[in-house]
Amino acid sequence: MKRLAWLGLALGLYAIALAVTAPATLVDASLERATKGSLRLAEAKGTVWSGAGRIEIRDANRRFGVAREFAWHFFPSWSLLRGTVVCEIGFDAPTQRIPLTLSLSGVDIPKTEMTLPAVALGLAVTRLAPLGLGGDLHLNIASLSIKRDRIQGSAVVQWRTASSALTRVYPLGDYEMRISGAGPSARASLRTLQGPLQLDGDGSWANGGAPQFTGTARVPAQYSEQLAPLLRLVAVARGENTYALQLRQPGGMERVMSDE
């Protein structure tokens, strides 16, 4: 029995050693499989527990994307026995690290801020890619907990100096979406801070389900001719210089087809 116990202990320690020293390239392989190539970790170095690389969001053809320097570090602790693990991730500046608490039921994100180029919208939502979106996305999370059965917390996303390669109107405006959760679903509200293209709307998202969003775009008469071709790609006219938008399925902004 003692020999079996020692053998079991040795095998356990060996398994832990393999996990700790597993190369970071395994993270890239896992991301590629899980996202079908739309998310990759290029030039990965280190181990799965502590490493760095360049996180890439790629387009539908997997040929190009937004790239950010990315680093992570897991902190081993007794919390592993409770099924949770604490880690830090960082983008670009190594001094700006975001602590996360991961568990089998979800993830907890504390107060944090980050900025992404708006082109990421087109890479994440393929129907928006032809619009050639520009500007910056600023994400401000007060605190956010995403579990299997609940979403708790709030976040604010601002799209500043929004633009599109399909129109000479620049900028289209500045926009803000507020997201809040206090139960099985999260609510979102969109408003225009400033600019000629006026956007507003509301949506919801239940964890594990598809996001739902309906909104309205309004254009001043002097910009109607310039912005109409752009808006007709993602919306349907609902009156003079007014358009309806609807997010009907994950992964794409669908047009509101008709008054059925």
What gap in Å lies between CA 243 and CA 230, rounded to an integer? Answer: 11
Inter-residue contact 91 to 57 (CB < 8 Å): no
Q: What is the residue-level pLDDT of the chain in tens, covering all 260 positions?
A: 444 444 444 444 334 444 445 566 767 777 777 667 777 778 888 877 788 888 777 766 666 666 778 887 877 765 565 667 788 887 775 556 788 887 777 888 888 888 888 887 776 666 777 788 899 999 998 888 888 778 889 999 999 999 999 999 999 999 999 999 888 888 999 999 999 999 999 988 876 666 788 899 999 999 999 998 889 888 888 888 899 987 654 444 444 433 43
* Count of positions (residues) in the chain: 260
- In this structure, the strands spanning 151-164 and 252-255 are unpaired
Q: What's the pTM?
A: 0.75
Residue 254 lies in a domain: no
Residue 62 lies in a domain: yes
What gap in Å lies between CA 154 and CA 132, rounded to an integer? Answer: 29
Residue 182 lies in a domain: no
Secondary structure (3-state) at 121: helix
Number of domains in the chain: 1
Residue 2 lies in a domain: no
Residue 74 lies in a domain: yes
Structure-block tokens of residue 62: 């997997």
What gap in Å lies between CA 87 and CA 93, rounded to an integer? Answer: 17
